[in-house]
Structure 1
Amino acid sequence: MADIATVSAILSSVKTATDIAKLIKDSDSNLQAAEVKLNMAELISNLADVKL
C-alpha cells in the first residue's frame, strides 16, 4: 500500500497537470480574441482607406 507521502505527491502532480491544462486552454482563447481584434483593426483601417 502506498504511503501518505506518495499519495500526496501524486495528488500534487495531478493538480499541477490540471493547472497547466487550464493555462493552455486560456491561452488559446486569448490568442483567438487577439486575432479577432487584429482582423477588426485591419477591417476598420481598410474601410477608412476606402472612405478617403
Structure 2
Amino acid sequence: MSIHDRMSPLQRAELLRLLAEHGSDGTTLFNRLKKRGVLAPVTSTRRSPGPA
C-alpha cells in the first residue's frame, strides 16, 4: 500500500494543487512552503515487519 492509498481524496487534491502551482521562478508552491517551514515534516509510515 502506498502513501497515496492512505490519503483522503481531499488530501490528494491539495497535494496535487501544491505541486501544480508554480511561481515566477519556476518553483512549486509545495517547495516554497517547505523551504519556509510551513509544511509539517514528512514522517515515515512504514510499519516494522511482524514476528517471523
TM-score with structure 2 length normalisation? 0.35
Identify which of structures 1 and 2 has the higher relative contact order when contacts are C-alpha pairs closer than 8 Å and 6+ apart. 2
